[in-house]
Amino acid sequence: MKEMQPSRTAAAVPSQLAAAAAPDARAVLPLAGRRVAQAKKAYTVRRAALNRTEGLRLAQASPRSGDLLLARVTQLGMHQHLESADGRRQRLWPGDEIVVAYGRRYAPDQFEAVIPDELSACHLVAGGGVAARVLSRHASVKPATQIEPIGLLADSLGVLNLQRSALGASAGGRAPLTVAVLGSSMNAGKTTTAAHVIAGLRRAGLRVGAAKVTGTGAGGDRWLMHDAGAAVVLDFTDMGYASTAGLELPALERLFIELSGHVASAGVDCTVIEVADGVLQRETAALVCSHVFAKYVDAVVFAAPDALSAIAGVAWLQQRALPVVAVSGVLTASPLATREAASAVQLALHTADELATPAVLARLLPRVTELVEHAGRAA
């Protein structure tokens, strides 16, 4: 469904800022520290240095991916809550001021959205705090919540961007065992599958790390992985990205390598990696087909919503010589759908609960037994 665009009128930028705007993007206006302190802040900006608010300014400039934006909610739509750094869902009201980050959105079940060319009325396209201009939306979802930019946050060095507060380069390396969870689409059950694999590895006595390497900034998946028992969990927002939509392969590979390195440096026995969206999504396909992915990943668990998706997805991965060891996801909630898939997929199909069982994981991942014995821990 094509999305109706917010009108680009003079009201899209407060009059006092419009008057002060200059062709030079470094033009700024003072910003009272209390204003940022009182604004509702999104999960995506949790690493940004917003505590020294006295030194912040409002800037008028063309937004870039990762730029921090102070905006006012003008009309509620799909997202009526803003996720905070600690995972709380902050209820939004028209007139609320929020701090979010610019980023693209690729979500077939929700929004297709891009970063606007100018500081004008746009949308909140993810509850984790991503600002963008909607191009289209799924027919089943509400129009996006509309927001009005007040200004980009800036300090003496310029506009604040998520890259400025990102984790630095890692020491490199990888965990002794890396399991990747891929899927056929959004809502295929990838995060649930990953969380249960984490739980099973932890129950086996291993120290587990986790990373979500692509997607749109939100904390729900992160908290679920923590709750499953991961000792350390990182995602792409820790590396300075509100969203990975639109990234080119070199950036995706660096992101994957750095996140893997940071997790490995925490002394984990194994890492569980989640790659967002379906394997045909542009960034997912590029990363999964790269030599870096093949080098780092020891096993793949594939999540699918139905039998046909499972059959096609496994075939796609096997054609690329990727080590698929099992199928799980939404389809395994149905014994009938599971039997349909089993008739054509020559792989184990397991429910999420089964993947949380050390004995099942030991059959799928023989290295688990070796790691448990090496660590001197009993399964």
Q: Please report, for the chain, the start and end positions of each structural domain, with discontinuous segments joined by +.
A: 10-165, 177-374
d(CA 225, CA 241): 20
Mean pLDDT (the chain, rounded): 89
d(CA 60, CA 119): 7
Q: Tens digit of pLDDT for each residue in 293-307?
A: 999 999 999 999 999
In this structure, what token pair is assigned to residue 10?
């003079």
d(CA 123, CA 340): 41
* Other CB atoms within 10 A of residue 114 CB: 18
Name the pLDDT band for 173 (thresholds 50, 70, 90): confident
What torsion, rounded to 10 degrees, do the Cα atoms 228, 303, 317, 231 define? Answer: -10
Q: Say what the pLDDT of residue 52 is.
A: 64
d(CA 283, CA 236): 13
Q: Say what the pLDDT of residue 32 is.
A: 54
Average pLDDT over residues 148-156: 91
d(CA 124, CA 105): 10
Average pLDDT over residues 232-261: 96
* Least trusted range by pLDDT, from 35-39, 164-168, 271-275: 35-39
Which carries the bigger pLDDT value, residue 50 or residue 317? 317
Q: Say what the pLDDT of residue 104 is.
A: 96
Q: Say what the pLDDT of residue 356 is.
A: 97
pLDDT at 34 > cutoff 70: yes
Average pLDDT over residues 28-56: 80
Thinking of the domain 177-374, which architecture would CATH place it in?
3-Layer(aba) Sandwich (3.40)
Average pLDDT over residues 195-224: 96
pLDDT at 51 > cutoff 70: yes
Q: Say what the pLDDT of residue 2 is.
A: 53
* Other CB atoms within 10 A of residue 199 CB: 23
pLDDT at 378 > cutoff 60: no
pLDDT at 237 > cutoff 80: yes
Average pLDDT over residues 171-198: 94
Q: Say what the pLDDT of residue 376 is.
A: 66
| Percentage of the chain exceeding pLDDT 70 | 89
| Percentage of the chain exceeding pLDDT 90 | 78
Q: Tens digit of pLDDT for each residue in 77-129?
A: 999 999 999 999 999 999 999 999 999 999 999 999 999 999 999 999 999 99
Q: Tens digit of pLDDT for each residue in 7-21?
A: 443 333 333 333 333
